[in-house]
Structure 1
Amino acid sequence: MASSITTTCQPSPLRSSFFGEKKGFLASSPVTHIGFWRKNVECKESRIGKQPIAVPANVSVTMDGQDLNVKGPLGQLSITYPREVILQREESGSLRVRKAVESRRANQMHGLFRTLTDNMVVGVSKGFDKRLQLVGVGYRATVEGRDLVLNLGFSHPVRMPIPADLNVKVEENTRVIVSGYDKSSVGQFAASIRSWRPPEPYKGKGIKYADEIIRRKEGKAGKKK
């Protein structure tokens, strides 16, 4: 004699978010407690950020909240600080960048903006320069008005407009000197010049920085007979 068995699933008060109803059946999973271990991260003070910034007598500094304006005999620069750091003027006249909060990002911004501030003060008072050397037969450079003209073996000379805040001087047709009060602008324009003919590692031909060391490679040896 056949018997009929009916199974009834009662709804469980503990319902997991990973399971649900499917075809009239309700499945539930036991609830487990997961603990998290919290570790406090100690942010050390930046060795660069804690150093004071000396301000020369011929440089004027104006602070307005998080904005800094620096003016000197060579030019004028300004910067806006993030909320993680603040700038303070000491009684001695020097500047000091401090952290406003204790966090990993504040520690990173501390050293970065101290360096940027120091570059501004040095730039408007003394300036920066980058020197490049042209290596190659027929490679030469000249300045025509506000244009730097490079002959680098192409079918036509390369003409680069000189930015208004920079000065470019050429010595002996092969040495190019880029100078200015904004360090980032000087470095960017010098890198643009070098990008036309980066030095190759076999003969060293191209445009390189004056203090750059090119790692040379040995050419392929001829086939032995």
Structure 2
Amino acid sequence: MALLSPSLHYPCNLKSAFLGERSAIRSYVIPPSRTGVLRKPVECKESRIGKMPINVPSNVSITLDGQDLKVKGPLGELSQTYPREVKIEREESGILRVSKCVDSRKANQMHGLFRTLTDNMVVGVSKGFEKRLQLVGVGYRATLEGRDLVLNLGFSHPVRMPIPDGLQVKVEDNTRIAVSGYDKCSIGEFAAAIRKWRPPEPYKGKGVKYADEIVRRKEGKAGKKK
């Protein structure tokens, strides 16, 4: 029995039981050159936060060297290096402006981000920031021992946390903690590290929470109804 070569094509004739005639089935292939994808250009809107100017107080000095910015004030000194997608300029009036170098989605995201970081630097070295926490629970208390914050949160041993340089910590009534400084990022990281030891639970609200934090409470199991 001879094998048919796969390169040969034979018409397929089928006899229909309903029509009583033979019909040929043919297949058509659309050439790849006729197919295409409709591409829609992506429109990048300008960031509303990024285009806002940054006012520099008289007691803050600015040093701008290319993409490097250094801010010095009465509370401390901070520096920042900007990526190539954005640039920072200082006007004659002393106002700082952050603008985009390219028109892309990534540049639009960095525009608002680095404008906010720059504003935090100026406010931090001139006025400073503060984050407050509160301890809720029987026997929960905090004390200061030198440059260490000691927390009693119901564990078998007290938690000792060294205070980073540039931050000041105050304890009020053994249950209220105030973290202050000129670097907003460092303040937020240290406050989050304190809260991480005992996050507030949703039934009784026990734990370490931010002063302005609202803890959503859950209803406990109901007892047997008589």
TM (norm. structure 2) is 0.86
Per-residue deviation, residues 195-220 of structure 1 (Å, max 9, x unmatched): 11111111111111000111111111
Indicate the SS of the match to 1:44. coil
Distance 1:224 1:122 in 2: 58
Counterparts in 2 of 1:35-114, with a 5 A limit? 35-114=36-115
State the shift of 1:35 in Å. Answer: 2.3
Specify the alignment match of 1:16 in structure 2.
none
Specify the alignment match of 1:14 in structure 2.
none
Specify the alignment match of 2:225 in structure 1.
224
Specify the alignment match of 2:32 in structure 1.
32
The structure-2 alpha-carbon separation of the partners of 1:222 and 1:64, relative to structure 1 and needing over 3 Å to count, comes to same
Specify the alignment match of 1:17 in structure 2.
none
Per-residue deviation, residues 26-73 of structure 1 (Å, max 9, x unmatched): xxx874213232322221110000000000111111111111111111
The structure-2 alpha-carbon separation of the partners of 1:6 and 1:88, relative to structure 1 and needing over 3 Å to count, comes to closer
Indicate the SS of the match to 2:179. strand
Identity, in percent, stands at 77
Specify the alignment match of 2:19 in structure 1.
none
Name stretches of at least 5 consecutive residues in structure 2 with no aligned partner. Answer: 9-28
Specify the alignment match of 1:132 in structure 2.
133
Distance 1:85 1:60 in 2: 21
Specify the alignment match of 1:203 in structure 2.
204
Distance 2:203 2:43 in 1: 49
Per-residue deviation, residues 163-193 of structure 1 (Å, max 9, x unmatched): 0111100001110000111101000000000
Counterparts in 2 of 1:159-178, with a 5 A limit? 159-178=160-179
Distance 1:105 1:30 in 2: 38
The structure-2 alpha-carbon separation of the partners of 1:222 and 1:58, relative to structure 1 and needing over 3 Å to count, comes to same
Question: Partner letter of residue 89 of structure 1?
Answer: R
Question: Partner letter of residue 105 of structure 1?
Answer: K
Q: CA RMSD in A?
A: 1.9
Specify the alignment match of 2:156 in structure 1.
155
Distance 1:45 1:92 in 2: 24
Question: Partner letter of residue 132 of structure 1?
Answer: L
The structure-2 alpha-carbon separation of the partners of 1:136 and 1:31, relative to structure 1 and needing over 3 Å to count, comes to same
Count of aligned pairs: 205
Further displaced range: 87-96 or 32-41: 32-41
Indicate the SS of the match to 1:212. coil
The structure-2 alpha-carbon separation of the partners of 1:143 and 1:32, relative to structure 1 and needing over 3 Å to count, comes to same
Distance 1:213 1:112 in 2: 27
The structure-2 alpha-carbon separation of the partners of 1:36 and 1:8, relative to structure 1 and needing over 3 Å to count, comes to closer
The structure-2 alpha-carbon separation of the partners of 1:109 and 1:7, relative to structure 1 and needing over 3 Å to count, comes to closer
Runs of 4+ deviating beyond 6 Å: none
The structure-2 alpha-carbon separation of the partners of 1:30 and 1:129, relative to structure 1 and needing over 3 Å to count, comes to same
Question: Partner letter of residue 150 of structure 1?
Answer: L
Distance 1:220 1:8 in 2: 73
